[in-house]
Amino acid sequence: MMDWLLVPVAYLTGSVSSAIIVCKTMGLADPRENGSGNPGATNVMRIGGKKAAAITLMGDALKGLLPVLLAKILGADSLVLSLVVFAAFLGHLYPIFFGFKGGKGVATSLGVTLGVDWLLGLAVSGTWLLIYKIGKISSLAALVAAALTPLYVWLIVGDMNLIVTFAVISVILLWRHKSNIQRLLAGQES
């Protein structure tokens, strides 16, 4: 019964905006009001460079990873683990601490995949890296990795609750990147 408390804890952890904290700490402009307006690592790179972006990326991944690892350590069942995964991801997208206006969720989704299974995280990261090396477009790499994640979950983990959860996350990631998709189709994505 106590493991169900991990779900709101995961949401609250996901709601901590690494981008806003990093920018404020480093004396950079608010990412919600500059660049693309998205509080994520890519926009932080535009505003403050690679170091700030790397810290943001790690923070966003950790807030997905840590609640999932905690749930696993505490022996949460498959359903609770799936809800923890989704809650951490949802917290990043709709953070209670920042007016429910969050990032697109790529780094946090990577963190939850690593928490579920390191091989799963490796498969997703490897896909992103391969597509990025070929096309040099971060959003394209993220979209391909997101689209393949449910397949990887099926092949590596095989748990139906997690397969469904990651399928939903993938759809949300694709939807959150609809402007990137439009620019990719028009040949205008940087």
Express each pLDDT in 50-99 by its tens digit.
999 999 999 999 999 999 999 999 999 999 999 999 999 999 999 999 88
- Inter-axis angle of helices 78-93 and 160-176, to 10 degrees? 10
CB of 144 within 8 A of CB of 173? no
pTM above 0.75, yes or no: yes
pLDDT band at 106; cut points 50, 70, 90: very high
Whether 20 has a pLDDT exceeding 90, the answer reads yes
CA distances from 41 to 17, 21, 32, 81, 107 (A): 11, 12, 12, 26, 8
Whether 6 has a pLDDT exceeding 80, the answer reads yes
Whether 24 has a pLDDT exceeding 80, the answer reads yes
Share of the chain above pLDDT 70, in %: 99
Q: Which residues contact 123 (CB under 8 A, 6 or more apart)?
A: 148, 152, 156
Mean pLDDT over the full length of the chain = 93
d(CA 185, CA 108): 26
pLDDT of residue 187: 79
Q: What are phi and psi of 26, to 5 degrees?
A: -90, 5
pLDDT of residue 55: 97
pLDDT of residue 17: 94
CA distances from 38 to 20, 103, 108, 153 (A): 10, 6, 14, 28
Question: What is the average per-residue pLDDT within 113-118?
Answer: 98
pLDDT band at 1; cut points 50, 70, 90: low
